[in-house]
């Protein structure tokens, strides 16, 4: 039987769509004025527009996915389906009972405080399911792990970014400039208003609203991002984790003004995934298009997260990384830079390193002097051969 136009199931999404559109237009006008003065705010406006355009189709009453959304994997042509309820993932392995169970467990891990005695119970159960799926050696179960872990990693990354943004809402931003401080605060007020009214509408419609994370939980979420990345690598999904972390440019920018403990947690994630990115790029076999894609991902990793490494290597109470770990990561970054092959790309990365390395006098790491010298020598030789 066809639903009439005036039925609640049709009107509610339309009301939500109209309200969110009005809020978005209001927020965009505020950002547009500020973006004319600061290039970083132009990027933030672009991210907001992109997010809204991806959300809008899901608010169409005729959409089959209703309030779900579908994300295209940057590595493959597969689609990872997620929903606001966290109870399961559509498509492929997510439609199975084991897929829905694992998806629910990973969603609950995000929501339980780490101080709760139930946190370790739920996390251990999720880890047990992931490991058992992998040990079975079944293609179907590997697909379950891939899809559910990928969706959980993306969700946790989004929550981590929100937690860091909420914590730094009244901060003066990375530049330390007074005018930038006022504009940064204005942007955050706009975003908070959009989130508040959006949550209120979703609550009235009976939709589950994800909790807003306090600053103290940013460390917890960063630890969960690292844990999920480790599980993805163990299950053969390293490329997916590396690509998503490399693409988290806004989180990388926010991290420069985050608290030292949060910075330390993000350094640990970056250190782990830098190693995976280097190993992926070192593969001798594969299609040229895939090698090019991996090279671009390595470039994004370096440009996004190298500034944080220059700033946050010391830690507060103890070093974030041990002396051995820091030396190893320096070798990893040197290898990754030299894998770029193109002289211009190496110049961009090394120029960025030199800027941030000299900007923070309290840190003497990462020490890429040898890599910088080799690049200078190679440039000199090329010029002489011309």
Residue range 121-161, pLDDT digits in tens: 999 999 999 999 999 989 999 999 999 999 999 999 999 99
Mean pLDDT rounded to a whole number for the chain: 75
- Alpha-helical segments (H) within the chain: 8-35, 39-55, 97-111, 117-135, 139-167, 178-204, 218-234, 238-246, 249-255, 260-281, 288-311, 323-339, 343-359, 369-385
CA atoms of 162 and 168, how far apart (whole Å): 10
Predicted TM-score of the model (pTM): 0.68
Q: How far is CA 147 from the centre of its chain?
A: 16
Which pLDDT score is estimated for 327? 93
The pLDDT value given to residue 319: 73
In the chain, pLDDT over 90 holds for what percent of residues? 45
pLDDT at 289: 79
- Dist CA 226 CA 268 (whole Å): 8
pLDDT in tens, 317-353: 567 888 899 999 999 999 999 999 788 999 999 999 9
Find all residues with CB under 8 Å of 295, minimum gap 6, and list them: 281, 339, 340, 341
What pLDDT does 311 receive?
85
- Predicted confidence at residue 249, as pLDDT, reads 93
Residue 342 pLDDT: 85
Owner of token pair 């109209």: 18
The C-alpha atoms of residue 186 and residue 94 are separated, in whole angstroms, by 40
Asked if 103 contacts 86 with a C-beta cutoff of 8 angstroms, the reply is yes
Measured at the CA of 148, the angle between CA 166 and CA 103, to 5 degrees, comes to: 75
Domain-wise residue ranges, the chain: 1-236, 259-386
pLDDT confidence of residue 166:
78
Q: Roughly how many angstroms between the first and final C-alpha of the chain, as a whole number?
A: 76
- For residue 135, the tally of other CB atoms under 10 A from its CB is 9
Strand, coil or helix: what is 305?
A: helix
Confidence at residue 10, expressed as pLDDT on a 0 to 100 scale? 45
Sites in the chain below the pLDDT cut of 50: 1-11, 60-94, 170-184, 210-216
CB distance 65 to 55 below 8 Å: no
3-class SS letters over 67-86: CCEEEECCCCCCEEEECCCC
Angle between helix axes 178-204 and 39-55 (nearest 10 degrees) is: 10
> Strand, coil or helix: what is 103?
helix
What is the residue whose two structure tokens read 């039925």? 7
């Amino acid at each position: 039987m066809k639903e009439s136009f005036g039925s609640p199931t049709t009107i509610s999404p339309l009301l939500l769509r109209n309200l969110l559109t009005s809020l978005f237009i209001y927020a965009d006008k505020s950002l547009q004025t500020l973006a004319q003065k600061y290039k970083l705010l132009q990027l933030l406006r672009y991210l907001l527009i992109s997010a809204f355009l991806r959300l809008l189709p899901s608010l169409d009453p005729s959409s089959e996915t209703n309030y779900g959304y579908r994300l295209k994997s940057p590595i493959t042509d597969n689609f990872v389906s997620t929903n606001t309820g966290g109870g399961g993932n559509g498509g492929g392995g997510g439609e199975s009972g084991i897929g829905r169970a694992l998806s629910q467990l990973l969603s609950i891990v995000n929501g339980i405080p780490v101080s709760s005695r139930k946190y370790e119970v739920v996390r251990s159960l999720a880890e047990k399911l992931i490991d058992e799926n992998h040990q079975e050696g079944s293609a179907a179960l590997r697909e379950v792990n891939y899809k559910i872990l990928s969706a959980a990693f993306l969700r946790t990354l989004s929550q981590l970014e929100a937690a860091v943004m909420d914590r730094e809402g009244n901060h003066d931003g990375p530049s330390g400039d007074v005018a930038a401080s006022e504009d940064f605060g204005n942007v955050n007020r706009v975003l908070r208003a959009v989130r508040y009214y959006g949550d209120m509408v979703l609550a009235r419609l009976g939709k589950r609203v994800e909790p807003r994370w306090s600053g103290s939980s940013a460390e917890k979420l960063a630890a969960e991002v690292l844990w999920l990345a480790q599980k993805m690598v163990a299950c053969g999904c390293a490329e997916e984790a590396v690509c998503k972390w490399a693409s988290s440019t806004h989180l990388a920018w926010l991290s420069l003004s985050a608290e030292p403990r949060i910075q330390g947690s993000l350094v640990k994630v970056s250190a782990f995934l830098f190693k995976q990115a280097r190993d992926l790029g070192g593969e001798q076999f594969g299609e040229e298009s895939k090698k090019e894609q991996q090279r671009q991902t390595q470039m994004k990793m370096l440009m996004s997260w190298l500034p944080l490494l220059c700033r946050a290597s010391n830690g507060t109470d103890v070093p974030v990384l041990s002396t051995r770990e820091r030396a190893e990561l320096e070798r990893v970054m040197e290898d990754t830079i030299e894998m770029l092959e193109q002289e211009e790309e190496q110049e961009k990365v090394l120029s960025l390193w030199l800027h941030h390395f000299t900007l923070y006098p309290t840190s003497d790491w990462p020490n890429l002097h040898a890599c910088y010298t080799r690049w200078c020598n190679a440039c000199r030789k090329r010029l002489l051969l011309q």
